Amino acid sequence: MTFNEELKHWAKQVDVALDKYMPSPETYPTVIHEAMRYSVFAGGKRLRPILVLAAAQAVGGSADKVMPVACAMELIHTYSLVHDDLPAMDNDDFRRGRATNHKVYGEAMAILVGDALQTLAFELIAQAAENLPAEAVNKVTLEIARAAGSVGLIGGQVVDLLSENQTINGDTLEYIHRHKTGALFRASIRAGAILGGATASQLESLTLFAEQMGLAFQIKDDLLDIEGDEAKIGKPLGSDVKNQKSTYPAIYGLTKTREMAAASAAEAINALKIFHQEAEFLRGIMHFIINRDY
CATH code of the domain in which 147 resides = 1.10.600.10
The predicted pLDDT at position 234 comes to 52
Counting other chains too, the contacts that 154-159 makes at CB distance below 8 Å and 24 or more residues apart are 155/179, 156/180, 156/181, 156/182, 156/183, 157/80, 157/84, 157/89
Determine the pLDDT at residue 71: 98
Of the pLDDT bands very low, low, confident and very high (cuts 50, 70, 90), residue 225 is: confident
| pLDDT grade for 96, boundaries at 50, 70 and 90 | confident
62 pLDDT more than 70: yes
Q: Can you tell me the mean pLDDT for 242-265?
A: 87
pLDDT-above-70 percentage for the chain: 94
Structural domain count, the chain: 1
Average pLDDT of the residues in 165-181: 92
* Adjacent-strand bridge partners of 99: 94
> Given a cut of 60, is residue 108 above it in pLDDT?
yes
3-state secondary structure of 155: helix
- Spatial separation of the C-alpha atoms in residues 245 and 156, rounded to whole Å: 13
| 237 has a pLDDT exceeding 80 | no
pLDDT at 65: 97
pLDDT in tens, 19-29: 999 999 999 99
**Rounded to the nearest 5 degrees, what angle is found at the Cα of 121, between the Cα atoms of 66 and 181?**
90
Report the distance separating Cα 79 and Cα 61, nearest Å: 28
| Strand residues in the chain grouped as ranges (E) | 94-95, 98-99
Name the pTM for this structure.
0.93
Domain that holds residue 229: 3-291
